[in-house]
A and B are shown apart, each in its own frame.
Chain A
Amino acid sequence: MLSYIVRRLLLLIPVFFTVSIIIFGIIHLVPGDPVDNLLRIGSTPEQKAIITARYGLDKPLAQQYLLWLGNMAQGDLGDAIVMRRPVSALLAQNIPFSLRLGAAALLFSTLLGIAAGTLAAIYKDSKIDQSVMAGILLGSTLPSFWLGLLLILLFSVQLGWLPVSGARSWQAIILPVLTIGLGGTALVARVTRIAMLETMQKDFVLLLHAKGLPARRIQLRHVLRHALMPVVTILGLRIGWILGGAVTVEFVFARPGLGTLLIKALNQHDYPVMQGCLLMLAIAVMLGTLIGDLVQAAMDPRVRQAMT
């Protein structure tokens, strides 16, 4: 297991460098002088000199990149142009909100997905199966921001039960979690359903039936447990997906977080903030995939061996 972890971590290095080069490139690929892109309008030549020196913008690209990485390692991601604060402070302020939302949404969609998939598998080909799966397909096809707006309309505007936006009270997280969660349930439900149906065909299940165990107990105690394996496998993949959903949904609910910050930065052409947010999101996706792979390897020895 240890050697698998080491090899898996080594794999991250080229990925990290590729992604960081792309994100570093943003400032150089946009039209215009990178120094001007990093400056507020009306800055003095002295300020220009400071920025140029900090990023070494007169040096060769490779050196600039290393300087950028070095600054970043020390927690210096530059200063926001429009928001006028260090990017690291903005990120530190927003990341906890995104983490809370992402974790809650992941938990909610996984539990709901497993429940729906189990229900559909137990009542295979019946009305229940069809309506559960159709409902879930519908949930996953709706654009998540529209679903969010509809939920606001229903629960906040019409019923007045929950706050419309922001993150001032704990209730404010309910609608965003519902929005991301409902969209994300489909994959988990589908995987659970198929895995359960496949497991039901296995010999050991036949044996359990032959032993005279009640059908419901076989399904929930034995079949479901086996069927959870592939669900765990896709958890890692879904972390990236949840983050993508969080970006959209945070913006809809005007909730502080990485997504809201990123979109604000994109609209204001605030390049250091863009770079910071994208880097954080990319790192989160990489860590998510890593965790997913490690969990999978811990559960299934074949995965560990396959990588040699």
Chain B
Amino acid sequence: MSLAIDTQTGAGQSFRRSVAGKVLLTPKGGISGCYLICLLLLALLAPWVTPYPYDVQELSIASQAPSLAHWLGTDEFGRDVLSRIMYGARTSLSVSFTAISVSVLVGMTLGAAAGYFGGMFDRFVTAAVDLSWSFPEILIALILVAIIGPGLHSTMLAIGIAYLAQFTRLTRAQILGLKNETFIEATRNLGASHGHIVFRHLMPNALAPVIICGMLATGDAIILEATLGFFGLGAQPPVPSWGAMMSSGTAQIFKAPWIIIFPGLAVAVTVIMINLFGDALIRALDIRAKLREG
């Protein structure tokens, strides 16, 4: 994440080192950074590092408590909870990350165009953003799932659209603040095209806050994905996802509480770590004030 920002702001090698250093050398940033890297590796390498396959049912060992053979116990079909959590990380992370990345890109484009050109288009975008802003994300997501039907693709789309307003609004505010600066005026007077001004000068300056905002939204998106999965509207069985695991575990809450405790813990810890890392990044880049403008 920090790499993307540095290259975009066009800063030098030493600056890159110092931002990465500033983030990772603080206790908050260091711990959360390590956790996120480990989680990412686990998710990527899940097929090779999980002790058991995620979909093989073995009813003779159903709903067993955590033991040496199954560190986090087994679920109601005798599947290893730890292995399913690792595979679940794949689902959760890829869905939230893809959805938020696309949402950030679209939101930045819309917000930059609205902020830069103004006029009717700006009014339309602002009205749409205000409209969706007043509705809770989960409600927007549920409306979209109602239209597209349950599944992973609609979860992604629902998450992407639910957070679109946030990025559009923030980018627009950034661009509005920047577009009357002297250096932009100078560029314009030198005869630069709109495209050149927006993409080469405005966007790079507006990028950092939007990326941070996107990073923090990824945490919320993981919760939203888990919630939809919990409702049975996200990943469909046997694809493991943290939300769906908890949903099937509710029937076993008296007998086998570990089926719901551990996937939930995975969601909670991941979201907290993303927030901590985002916090450390905000501090390192010193952009707290900019984030408020949105």
Q: Interface of A with B (CB < 8 Å)?
A: 15, 18-19, 22-23, 25-26, 29-31, 137-138, 141-146, 149-150, 152-153, 157, 164, 237, 240-241, 243-245, 247-248, 251-252, 262-263, 266-267, 269, 271, 274, 278, 281-282, 285-286, 289
Tell me if B135 is interfacial: C-beta within 8 Å of chain A: yes
Among B137, B219, B253, B271, contact of A244 (Cβ-Cβ < 8 Å):
B137
By the criterion CB–CB under 8 Å, are B261 and A282 in contact? no
By the criterion CB–CB under 8 Å, are B267 and A143 in contact? yes
What residues of A have a CB within 8 angstroms of the CB of B215 in the complex?
none
By the criterion CB–CB under 8 Å, are A26 and B134 in contact? no
What residues of B have a CB within 8 angstroms of the CB of A263 in the complex?
142, 231-233
- Bound: A29/B275 CA distance, A: 37
By the criterion CB–CB under 8 Å, are B136 and A240 in contact? yes
By the criterion CB–CB under 8 Å, are B138 and A244 in contact? yes
Tell me if B289 is interfacial: C-beta within 8 Å of chain A: no
Given contacts A146-B246, A266-B142, A285-B135, A141 and B147 within 8 Å (CB-CB): no
Closest 8 CB pairs of A and B: A244-B136, A146-B264, A244-B138, A143-B223, A29-B147, A274-B146, A263-B231, A142-B268
What residues of B have a CB within 8 angstroms of the CB of A26 in the complex?
143, 146-147
Given contacts A142-B268, A274-B146, A243 and B139 within 8 Å (CB-CB): yes
Within 8 A of A (CB), among B258-274: 260-261, 264, 267-268, 271-272
Mark contacts of B129-166 with chain A using CB atoms, 8 A cut-off: 1 yes-contact digit, 0 otherwise: 00100111111001101111110000000000000000
Q: Which residue of A lies closest to B224 (CB)?
A: A143
Q: Contacts A141-B272, A282-B135 known; list 10 others, CB within 8 Å.
A: A25-B147, A141-B219, A143-B223, A143-B226, A149-B246, A152-B253, A243-B139, A245-B136, A263-B232, A285-B139
By the criterion CB–CB under 8 Å, are A289 and B264 in contact? no
User: Can you list 5 pairs linking A and B with CB atoms under 8 Å apart?
Assistant: A31-B149, A142-B268, A153-B261, A244-B137, A278-B143
- Chain B contact-residue range equals 35 or more
What residues of B have a CB within 8 angstroms of the CB of A137 in the complex?
275
What residues of A have a CB within 8 angstroms of the CB of B147 in the complex?
25-26, 29-30
- Bound: A251/B232 CA distance, A: 11
By the criterion CB–CB under 8 Å, are B233 and A266 in contact? yes
By the criterion CB–CB under 8 Å, are B227 and A153 in contact? no
What residues of B have a CB within 8 angstroms of the CB of A240 in the complex?
134-136, 139
What residues of B have a CB within 8 angstroms of the CB of A286 in the complex?
134
Tell me if B254 is interfacial: C-beta within 8 Å of chain A: yes
By the criterion CB–CB under 8 Å, are A23 and B143 in contact? yes
- Bound: A97/B268 CA distance, A: 29
By the criterion CB–CB under 8 Å, are B139 and A281 in contact? yes
Q: Which residue of A lies closest to B135 (CB)?
A: A285
Smallest CB separation, A125 vs chain B (Å):
17
Q: Which of B147, B219, B260 has the most CB of A within 10 A?
A: B147
Q: Which of A143, A152, A263 has the most CB of B within 10 A?
A: A143
What residues of B have a CB within 8 angstroms of the CB of A142 in the complex?
268, 271
Given contacts A141-B219, A285-B135, A286-B134, A22 and B143 within 8 Å (CB-CB): yes
By the criterion CB–CB under 8 Å, are A149 and B268 in contact? no
By the criterion CB–CB under 8 Å, are B257 and A153 in contact? yes
By the criterion CB–CB under 8 Å, are B139 and A267 in contact? no
By the criterion CB–CB under 8 Å, are A278 and B142 in contact? yes
Mark contacts of B236-259 with chain A using CB atoms, 8 A cut-off: 1 yes-contact digit, 0 otherwise: 000000000010001001100100
Tell me if B230 is interfacial: C-beta within 8 Å of chain A: yes
- Bound: A248/B267 CA distance, A: 16
Smallest CB separation, A182 vs chain B (Å):
13
- Bound: A99/B231 CA distance, A: 21
Q: Which residue of B lies closest to A153 (CB)?
A: B257
Given contacts A26-B143, A266-B145, A266-B146, A248 and B227 within 8 Å (CB-CB): yes
- Bound: A26/B142 CA distance, A: 11
By the criterion CB–CB under 8 Å, are B134 and A150 in contact? no
Smallest CB separation, B243 vs chain A (Å):
8
Smallest CB separation, B25 vs chain A (Å):
21
Q: Which residue of A lies closest to B220 (CB)?
A: A141
Q: Which residue of B lies closest to A242 (CB)?
A: B136
By the criterion CB–CB under 8 Å, are B268 and A141 in contact? yes
- Bound: A36/B138 CA distance, A: 28
Smallest CB separation, B246 vs chain A (Å):
7
- Bound: A281/B148 CA distance, A: 19
By the criterion CB–CB under 8 Å, are A145 and B230 in contact? yes
- Bound: A22/B142 CA distance, A: 12
By the criterion CB–CB under 8 Å, are A153 and B253 in contact? yes
